[in-house]
Structure formats: structure tokens, C-alpha cells
Structure 1
Amino acid sequence: MTENNKAVVRRFNTEVIEQGNVDSFNALMDVGFINRSAPAGMDNGPQGMIWFFNEILRPAIPDIKVTIHDQIAEGDSVTTRKTISGTQTGPLLGVPATGKAISIGVIDIVRVRDGKYFEHWGITTLPELLATLAQAT
């Protein structure tokens, strides 16, 4: 089970985050999915998750790449340490395009149920990146 769950998370990172594949997103998301790390005021269900990737992140970083450094699975949980990187050619959460190579460090914990994302917790270096980019503009 743990290897299958890790494969689900790898598929999500490649097909959804990197490629923006909405069909894969729909196939990998449980209808009861909850993003426990959604910012206050943001939809913490499936729609909020795909909105962030395809309406915020991908337009700002169209050459987005996800590099998975570590994955640890136990029971129905998969913890992944990864880097999301690319070139910021569009505005990112209020910061104008810089044309710079950027990277966001991420640690995610995903609960997988029946081959689908059921719950997510995560921490990222996105706030620090935004502060750095804002100072440079």
C-alpha cells in the first residue's frame, strides 16, 4: 500500500503540478478532499487546490518543474520533500514578473484513500520567496 500511495503522489506532482492536467487532477482527488494548509479565506476543497496550481502558480511559472527529493510513506500518509522551480515570467501573488529562476521548497503530507488525495498538510518557502522577489522589484 505505501508504494502505491507514493506513486499516487508522484503522479500528482508530475501530471497535475507540472503539466496542469485537469483530468489527472479529477482522477486523483477524492470528492471529500480537504487541504488543511489552505490560507484563510481560500477554498480548502479540490477546487481551491486546482485553482492555485492552474490559475496562480502555472501562469507565473509556465516552465514549472517539480523535483522530489525524499518520500516517506507510512499507513495511508505520504510525506514528500520537494522543490517547485522554474522561471517567473508572470505575476505571482502580486509580485510582477521578474524573469528570474525561482524555487519553492515544499514539505507535504498527503493522506491517500483508495488511490486518491483525501487530506493535505504542507509548509513551503513561498512567503520568503515572495518577500525576496518584492524587494528586488
Structure 2
Amino acid sequence: MTSDANRPAANKAVVQRLVDAWNVRDVSAMMRYWAPEMVHHGRDGTLPAADVGAEMQRFITAFPDIHIEIEEIIAERDLVSTRLTVSATHSGPYLNIGPTGRAVRCALMGQLRLADGKVVEHWGVADTISLLEQIGLVDRTLLDATA
């Protein structure tokens, strides 16, 4: 059992292993770090772990060379916050758009709450509008207008 003093470091290590699993595109390994009752909070409400896993697999199919770089990781109590950069090539269907072959890069911010070494809640915000612009779904002038 991890003492309260060591919990932030242990939780950061779990999140690092989760990102490492993303980088080898192993959804099963990612899910080993999630509690069965894990909930993802996003702009469209909440999703259970199984739905998050399916969404991650769809993203990996669309962007099979995905790489996530941890720019910053901060932990306090049972929370870990991350600032990430996602890089990939649009090589499979995404949002009903066929592969464009375009390289994409976007920011991803997240906060994870852990209990007993597992993620029980996740909040994530991705720069989706930039991603959509990079694959040609959003006009650059719209993106510039929101900067």
C-alpha cells in the first residue's frame, strides 16, 4: 500500500505507464490502469471505461502511428494533471473522412483521479478544432478567428 506522502509520485508513474501503453497502441494495457468503474468526463457527458476503450481503438485505427509526448505532469493528493502533445498521421477513416495522409499535431490536457493505483475518473480536453483543421474539415480562417 502506498503511503499518502508517496501517493503523488506513484500516481504519476501510473499515468506515465498509461501514456506508454498509448504509444504502443495497446488498448488492453491502457485498460489495466483503469478501475472497472472508471468514468471519462468529456464535452458530451460521461462515458464508462468500455466505451472509452472502444473510442481509443477507433482513434488508433485512424491514426495508427500516434505518439503522445508528456510536456508536463503534476500530481497532488489523488489527482494527476497532464499537458500532452499528440502527433500522428491520418491514415484511416476518422469522422467519416477517409485517410488524408496528413500529419497532425494537437494539444491534450487531462486530469485523472486515481484510487489504489487505478484511474477512477478522467477529464480531458483536446484541441479538436485544430485537429479537424489539419485534416481539412475546418477552414483555417475559422481557427484563426478563435485564437
TM range (shorter): 0.7 to 0.9
TM-score (norm 1): 0.87
1:91 shift after superposition = 1.6
Aligned residue number for residue 20 of structure 2: 14
Max radius of gyration: which structure? 2
**Alpha-carbon shift at residue 135 of structure 1 (Å):** 4.6
Instruction: Specify the alignment match of 1:87 in structure 2.
Output: 89
3-state SS in 2 of match to 1:36: strand
The aligned length equals 132
Could you tell me how far 1:95 is from its partner in structure 2? 2.5
Contact 1:35 1:119 in 2 (8 A): yes
Question: What RMSD, in angstroms, separates the aligned Cα atoms of the two structures?
Answer: 1.8
SS in 1 for 2:37: strand
Candidates 52, 55, 66, aligned match of 2:55: 52
Q: Which runs of 4+ in 1 moved over 4 A?
A: none
Q: Residue 38 and residue 114 in structure 1: after superposition, are their counterparts in 2 closer, same or farther (change >3 A)?
A: farther
Shift in Å at residue 19 of structure 1?
Answer: 2.0
**How much identity, in percent, do the aligned residues show?**
29
Shift, 1:131, TM fit:
4.0
The yes-or-no answer on 1:39 pairing with 2:44 is yes
Q: Give the 5 Å matches for 1:1-137.
A: 1-15=7-21, 17-37=22-42, 39-40=44-45, 44-54=47-57, 56-132=58-134, 133-135=136-138
C-alpha distance in 2 between matches for 1:26 and 1:124: 20
**Which amino acid is 2:44 matched to?**
P
Mapped to 2, the partners of 1:39 and 1:106 lie a distance apart of: 16
TM-score, length-scaled by structure 2? 0.81
Aligned-pair distance for 1:128? 3.1
Unaligned runs of 5+ in 1: none
Deviation at 1:104, TM superposition (A): 2.3
Give the deviation of 1:39 after TM superposition.
2.6
Deviations 1:103-133 (A, max 9, x none): 1210000001111110011111123321442
